[in-house]
């Protein structure tokens, strides 16, 4: 059995390939075997009782834990620099498990800036049904004044979906710790290759693993990472009780995706920078929202906490809804679809898709206009993507 030499700090590409896994002990298989079992035997009566009480390690039931899923969890934890991680069936399952495990009636959660539409729904619509109060602040400058004795969680996405707002994670972590609250960062857009929130002081980091972590548009999953003291109740209360466990088949695809994560994210980030600079100079485009552009309000903060600026951008087209419709329908290489972080470049109209369930006034406050288009840059040749965008913008 091989073991990683941890006498020196390993690079992210090495961790992505080897972190959290070893060749299979039974067969020597390098690729993690898929353990397609719903239940696991235990040797005797007393052992079963000890496993259910937590006194003895061992697998019991795949809703609680599964060997293939465990490898994915360990691998993601290694990349995020976390003590442990828990995987869920989707990004929304991960978010829901986290919030319902950490919050009880009477608590308050502060959410900063814009959130993904599904997350907005949980925070603004679902949590209040259980006596949990959401408090919204538009940016980190408003955070300190929003704390009360009931604040238990601070939630942020950075870069944010879909407008690419950037929040200072170190400052959020500092203020949350001072107030005795748990800080939670959605790191889906940045991935651990570009940003490691736990190193900046954030308590819990989570992902929609469907996006960059899977990376191939063929798996759905979510994952939460952090210290065991916080992750264990998320597994026990959030995952086991709500039942949103990750399938071992999906876990195997996500393990495969993690192995190429640094290569894919770097390629898409470098292309996105060139694409953003091209769009920034186009007469049909009013604004490009991309933190790699110096005029972006979050450029300085992003430069401090990101390795590169990521593969996602949004553009505000002159001409509003009609311009967005025409532009999206004319794209050829770039596929019109929701989701992001795929090997394929994707584009969508958030106001009518990902954020359509968000109240119109909330969309307006968040800058999600009828002319806003979100673009996820894949790993195609940069020149081909720019040519596709150029022809789609002609005549607008």
Mark whether 211 is an active-site residue: yes
* Contact between 253 and 214 (Cβ < 8 Å): yes
Mark whether 63 is an active-site residue: yes
Mark whether 286 is an active-site residue: no
Contacts of 280 (CB under 8 A, 6+ apart): 288, 293
Mark whether 130 is an active-site residue: no
Within 130-259, residue ranges assigned H as helices are 143-146, 169-179, 191-194, 228-233, 241-242, 248-259
Catalytic pick from 51, 75, 107, 116?
116
Catalytic pick from 165, 186, 203, 370?
186
Q: Tokens standing for 322? A: 């009609």
Catalytic pick from 51, 75, 152, 211?
211
For residue 3, how many other CB atoms are within 10 A of its CB? Answer: 6
Contacts of 38 (CB under 8 A, 6+ apart): 61, 62
Catalytic pick from 24, 50, 59, 63?
63
Contacts of 292 (CB under 8 A, 6+ apart): 272, 273, 276, 299, 302, 308, 309, 310
Query: Quick one: CA dihedral 239, 245, 248, 254, positive or negative?
Result: negative
Q: What is the C-alpha to C-alpha distance for residues 226 and 119, in angstroms, rounded to an integer?
A: 20
Pairing state of beta strands 372-376 and 222-226? unpaired
Helices (H) and strands (E) in the chain, counts: 16, 12
* Contact between 209 and 91 (Cβ < 8 Å): yes
For residue 320, how many other CB atoms are within 10 A of its CB? Answer: 14
Phi, psi of 265 (to 5 degrees): -65, -40
List, by residue number, the catalytic residues: 63, 116, 186, 211
């Amino acid at each position: 059995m091989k073991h990683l030499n941890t006498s020196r700090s390993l690079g992210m590409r090495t961790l992505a390939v080897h972190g959290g896994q070893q060749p299979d002990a039974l067969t020597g298989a390098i690729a993690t075997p898929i353990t397609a079992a719903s239940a696991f035997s235990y040797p005797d009566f007393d052992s079963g009782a000890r496993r259910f009480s937590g006194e003895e390690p061992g697998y019991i039931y795949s809703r609680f834990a599964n060997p293939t899923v465990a490898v994915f969890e360990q691998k993601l934890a290694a990349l995020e620099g976390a003590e442990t991680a828990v995987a869920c069936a989707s990004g929304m399952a991960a978010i829901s498990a986290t919030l319902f495990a950490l919050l009880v009636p009477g608590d308050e959660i502060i959410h900063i800036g814009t959130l993904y539409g599904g997350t907005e729904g949980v925070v603004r619509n679902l949590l209040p049904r259980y006596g949990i109060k959401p408090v919204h602040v538009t940016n980190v400058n408003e955070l300190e004044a929003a704390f009360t004795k009931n604040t238990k969680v601070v939630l942020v996405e950075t870069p944010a979906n879909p407008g690419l707002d950037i929040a200072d994670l170190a400052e959020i972590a500092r203020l949350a710790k001072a107030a005795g609250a748990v800080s939670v960062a959605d790191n889906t857009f940045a991935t651990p290759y570009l940003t490691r929130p736990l190193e900046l002081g954030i308590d819990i980091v989570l992902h929609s693993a469907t996006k960059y972590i899977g990376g191939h548009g063929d798996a759905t999953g979510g994952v939460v990472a952090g210290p065991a003291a916080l992750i264990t109740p998320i597994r026990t209360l959030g995952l086991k009780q709500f039942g949103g466990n990750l399938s071992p088949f999906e876990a195997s695809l996500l393990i495969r995706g993690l192995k190429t994560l640094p290569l894919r994210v770097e390629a898409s980030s470098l292309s996105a920078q060139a694409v953003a600079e091209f769009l920034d100079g186009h007469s049909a485009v009013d604004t490009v929202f991309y933190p790699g552009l110096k005029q972006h309000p979050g450029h300085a903060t992003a430069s401090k906490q990101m390795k590169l600026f990521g593969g996602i951008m949004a553009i505000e087209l002159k001409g509003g809804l009609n311009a967005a419709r025409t532009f999206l329908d004319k794209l050829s290489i770039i596929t019109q679809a929701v989701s992001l972080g795929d090997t394929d470049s994707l584009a969508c109209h958030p106001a009518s898709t990902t954020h359509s369930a968000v109240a119109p006034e909330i969309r307006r406050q968040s800058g999600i206009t009828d002319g806003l288009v979100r673009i996820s840059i894949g790993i195609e040749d940069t020149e081909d993507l720019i040519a596709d965008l150029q022809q789609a913008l002609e005549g607008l």
